[in-house]
Amino acid sequence: MDRNDTMSGLTERDAESWRTVVADRAYLPPPPSLHWGWVFLLSVLTLGIFAIVWPFIQASWVRKIDPLSSASLMLWLSLGGIIISFFLIPAWTPVGDAAPLTSTERLGKLLQLASGMLFYGAYFAMSASIRRHMIIYRLPVRIGGITLFFFNTLYLQGQLTWLACWQQTGRMQPRAGKAVFWVLLGIPLIGIFGAIALPLYQTYVLRAHVASALMQAEPLKEQVLDAIDRNRVWPKSNTQAGLKEAGAYASGDLTGFAVLAIDEGTALVTVFGEGAPEALRGKKLALVAEGRDGAIVWTCQSPDIVPYYLPEQCQ
């Protein structure tokens, strides 16, 4: 019988009494009240087995309040698809094996995709059933879709634990939170970001210091070339190159520039000092001038700086 038809045959007092019965929280099937933290811990301790079982417990309770819920069926289909895909896709593929996927492997990938969609579909279906059913009890349930997507089992369990507390005590505060899940997600994300970004930043800093040293050597290279042009010999010292003593060219990073003789050429050498990053301190960087095909060609070299930190032309 339709609810409106039922209400039309009742007096106002009977209708109010009927609504009170419907809204009585004692009529709600007891939700699974295990704290989400225990769900997480038990999932870890059982190597994920508990995480497979618990969604079915949640779906079973949702089926009690919404007999039309198909969440349990979707979870079973999702689990079945994952199990079958394990038999279709090789568990181990040799590194560098770029062979195209076989039809069986493609089927396994499609099953995995479909299983994932069914799993998420089950949770969003459970969320919709809970929100719809709890209107009867005049209890607005707020389940964030984004948080549900990322934390599905744990987040929904937080909502169910809150419902169990409400049923036992009638208290709606504090509400089931979702900020804690984002904080817990943020910790590993920060760790991952730091593990990736910190080495990249350190590499950037080291390369910047090496590039700065090369830039500081540019005017000195011109003076060395002028000395070679004037004297028609390779200079063997700062004096012969028309430069001041090495320490006169010191900077925050560098101890100075010294001209040294090499076979068939000249080297302009600097050493990174205390102001440089630790990975560069005491390391040498040389700009070498050599004659090739009637022209003077400069190259940069280093006997002790990791090539990864040198510009491409120095590697």
**So what's the pLDDT on residue 91?**
60
**So what's the pLDDT on residue 100?**
72
**So what's the pLDDT on residue 34?**
94
Q: Which residues of the chain have pLDDT under 70?
A: 1-23, 91-99, 185, 315
Q: List CB contacts of 211: < 8 A, sequence separation 6 or more.
A: 311
Distance CA 55, CA 58 (A): 5
**So what's the pLDDT on residue 102?**
83
For residue 83, the tally of other CB atoms under 10 A from its CB is 11
**So what's the pLDDT on residue 99?**
57
Q: Model's pTM, two decimal places?
A: 0.56
- The DSSP line for 161-224 is HHHHHHHHH----SPPPSHHHHHHHHHHHHHHHHHHHHHHHHHHHHHHHHHHHHHHHHHHHHHH
**So what's the pLDDT on residue 292?**
84
**So what's the pLDDT on residue 19?**
46
- Give 120-151 pLDDT, tens digit per residue: 999 999 999 999 999 888 888 889 898 899 89
Q: Cβ-count burial of 304 within 10 angstroms (0-12 exposed, 13-18 middle, 19+ buried)?
A: exposed
- Give 149-173 pLDDT, tens digit per residue: 989 999 999 999 999 999 988 888 8
Half-sphere exposure for 153 (CA within 13 Å, toward CB): 19
